């Protein structure tokens, strides 16, 4: 688990530790990551590491929360600039991440992380201090544009879409989908989710993992 001692640290020190973890995860996946390299880069003791995390798997979860929060804030900004248009904002976010993935370090980091960056609602429920407030994003989202019935359904749609696009990006990075076809694939994924959001089929949640 991620211990509360980590979140009681000054924000600058938390970010330093997270940046050190990201640097290590860029070089190798968490299962092979070296605690010795992380603590040396962060300037902390090995004992301090274990005061913050039970192990490297928990450290990876902290990084995923951190990256997910950044992604979530960008999505909110795109929604605001697009006058509440969720699906246009998601397409913009995907294009930005495709551009970032041209950087070998960023691409390596995404390939090495074992889980998608769709932890924002979970982080918020866990009461973590850096977790964004879903209401901040939803205040920018025009629910009426998509005839979404309520905030809960809107959050499910956001989580489903970001998770699907995460898997699409990973498929591109792993070479399963040609980079030049990525935007067209993104549009197809979002069209499927948009149709599902408008029709709200009863079995929607049961099939979330089958979007792509």
pLDDT by residue for the chain (212 residues), tens digit each? Answer: 889 899 889 989 999 999 999 999 999 999 999 999 999 999 999 999 999 999 999 999 889 888 887 888 888 888 888 777 888 999 999 999 999 999 999 999 988 986 555 545 555 545 566 665 655 666 666 655 555 556 667 777 888 888 888 889 989 998 999 999 999 999 999 998 888 765 654 444 444 444 44
C-alpha span between 90 and 159 (Å, rounded): 11
Q: With beta carbons less than 8 A apart as the criterion, state whether 140 and 187 touch.
A: no
User: pTM score, two decimals?
Assistant: 0.78
Q: Which long-range contacts (CB under 8 A, 24 or more apart) does 167-172 make?
A: 167/116, 167/212, 168/94, 168/212, 169/94, 169/97, 169/98, 169/101, 169/110, 170/110, 170/111, 170/116, 171/212, 172/98, 172/101
C-alpha torsion sign, points 197, 203, 209, 210 = negative
């Amino acid at each position: 688990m991620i211990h509360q001692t980590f979140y009681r640290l000054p924000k600058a020190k938390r970010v330093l530790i997270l940046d050190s973890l990201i640097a290590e995860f860029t070089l190798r996946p968490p299962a092979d990551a070296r605690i010795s390299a992380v603590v040396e880069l962060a300037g902390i003791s090995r004992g301090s590491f274990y005061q913050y995390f039970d192990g490297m798997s928990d450290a990876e979860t902290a990084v995923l929360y951190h990256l997910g929060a950044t992604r979530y804030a960008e999505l909110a900004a795109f929604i605001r600039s697009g006058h509440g248009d969720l699906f246009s904002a998601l397409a913009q976010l995907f294009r930005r991440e495709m551009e970032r993935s041209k950087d070998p370090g960023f691409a390596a980091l995404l390939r090495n992380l074992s889980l998608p960056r769709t932890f924002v609602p979970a982080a918020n429920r866990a009461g973590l201090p850096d977790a964004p407030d879903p209401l901040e994003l939803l205040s920018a989202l025009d629910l009426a544009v998509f005839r979404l019935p309520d905030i809960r359904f809107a959050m499910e749609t956001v989580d489903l879409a970001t998770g699907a696009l995460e898997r699409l990006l990973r498929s591109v990075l792993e070479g399963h989908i040609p980079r030049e076809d990525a935007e067209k694939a993104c549009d197809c994924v979002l069209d499927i989710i948009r149709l599902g959001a408008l029709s709200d089929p009863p079995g929607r949640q049961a099939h979330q993992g089958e979007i792509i």
